[in-house]
Amino acid sequence: MGNLALCQGDRTASMLQAEQSIRQRKVTQVTEAVQLDLEKDRKQSMIPTSYNNQQLLTSCLDDWLENLHESVLISQMNLNCDASTKFLSEIDEEEEVDQTKQSFINSQEILEYKQNYPYCNTNLDMVIINFYIIKKNEFKLKLIQGPPKQRIRWSCWQLMAYTPKFLICSDGLSFIEEDQKYAKAIRIDIHRTITTNNIKYFETGEGQQDLEKVLLKLSKLFPKLGYCQGMNFVVGFTLIINNKSVDQSLQFLAQMMVNPKFMLYYIYTDKMPLVKLLEFICINEIKLKFPDLYNHIFNKLEVDNAIWITKLIMTLFLYNFHINNVCRFWDFLLATSIFDISAIICSLIDINRNQILKMDDLHQFVQWFDTFQQLELDQFQIDQLIKNCSQFKLNKKKINQYALHFCMLHPIKHPLQQQIAENYENLNKMKEFLKRDIFSC
């Protein structure tokens, strides 16, 4: 009997060793295919790792690379595939269902991707695109859990920001005399752009010049909007994430401006119609999900929206939250939509509910909120907060309903709010509206 148990133990150890060997072989194959080592020197992240130890970082990276292994094999980087798959623009319009698509990308489609992703076309980018195509829900789950490397994160973010069939061309943009009115305001705000104490990039001439380039070109791409305060923080954040790539930051934010899932344009435009709608959704979600917290915060403590909810929406968490926390918030939003800012806020107060319910006055709430923003949550805390967000996500139908309710309560409404109420479940109609409203003279 003892010999049998010993043999079983040996077999188990042998099986684990074999599994680890297979895992390591997959990781090595993916590393070589996407040329991670070749990109390491020029893509070193400016953000200190949020992982507590190197062993955990390595384990998380290996897990990501193992997930990408199938995508490497399917995309066949030698481009000799003879089967084909749907183009990404079609796949993105599908309902999100739990199923795995076994498919291949042919050489012509690879060329199409590279034309539509001029800022997102390295081997790593292409493998991540294919991972998204064949396992859409698994990809989003991995993104929400947090990429272990900024290089992987940026590839995922670019893919999620891209608006299918809506390429924005920024080639040939030049500085003209009329841009001086924006340049002056931009140069004032550049000196205020401090994203984190650990990053001195924007205190240098290089960082300030990069900021100015992106902000000026962004104002030229969207002349009806121009330059607005707050854009400098978003641009600065993207330049940190992608390690100083001006062109990629410009394209990423241009796509975020017009993508129906994010519509950043309406965070900054006059009357801030998206901010007002998001604020309405957040308040009603809190009231629905946590009536006790709603009564305590809004009735007993009389907390004004401008102190926290409006602030979080308008700044997209960027002004005061630690940059590693912000990265995880953006992982979640890029995998879902801007409307799930409400999920993050709901998760935040739910996790801190005991502390909030003990507060006796507005001052205590303000003090807690300011202190919380300055904390860098450890890996366990941020994982718990983001995991908790998932139960508060909004589907398109619910977003439609909230927008319709908002419009019924506000006789004078912005066309965007009306459009979301009528057509948010139809992204093609939303894209047509955005194109007309943003770019028409």
Each residue's pLDDT tens digit, 182-206: 777 787 777 666 555 567 777 777 8
Q: Are residues 127 and 53 in the same domain?
A: yes
The number of domains in the chain is 3
Q: Is residue 8 part of a domain?
A: no
Q: How far apart are CA 54 and CA 60, in angstroms?
A: 10
Q: Are residues 53 and 101 in the same domain?
A: yes
Q: Are residues 259 and 284 in the same domain?
A: no
What is the reported pLDDT for 185?
76
Give the angle subtended at the CA of 158 by the CAs of 424 and 46, to the nearest 5°.
135
Smallest CA-to-CA distance from 194 within 185, 206, 207, 182 is with: 207
Q: Are residues 278 and 148 in the same domain?
A: no
Q: What is the DSSP code string of 120-189?
A: S-SHHHHHHHHHHHH-HHHHHHHHHH--SSHHHHHHHHHHHH--TT-----TT----GGGHHHHHHHHHH
Q: Are residues 26 and 153 in the same domain?
A: yes
With residues binned 3-state (H G I as helix, E B as strand, rest as coil), the percentages for the chain, rounded to 5, are 70, 0, 30
Q: Are residues 143 and 26 in the same domain?
A: yes
Question: Which DSSP state fits 295?
Answer: I
Q: Is residue 6 part of a domain?
A: no
The more confidently predicted of residues 295 and 212 is: 295
Q: Are residues 148 and 213 in the same domain?
A: no
Which one of 238, 264, 290 terminates a domain?
A: 264
Q: Are residues 148 and 110 in the same domain?
A: yes
Each residue's pLDDT tens digit, 339-369: 999 999 999 999 999 999 999 999 999 999 9
Q: How far apart are CA 337 and CA 222, in angstroms?
A: 22
Each residue's pLDDT tens digit, 232-275: 889 999 999 988 888 899 989 999 999 999 999 999 998 899 99
204: domain range? 177-264
Question: CB under 8 Å to 87, separation ≥6 — which residues?
Answer: 109, 112
Q: How far apart are CA 387 and CA 235, in angstroms?
A: 27
Q: How confident is the model at residue 59 (pLDDT cuts 50, 70, 90)?
A: confident
Helix (H) or strand (E) holding 344: helix 341-351
What CATH number should be reported for the domain holding residue 240? 1.10.8.270
Q: Are residues 150 and 192 in the same domain?
A: no
Q: Is residue 342 part of a domain?
A: yes
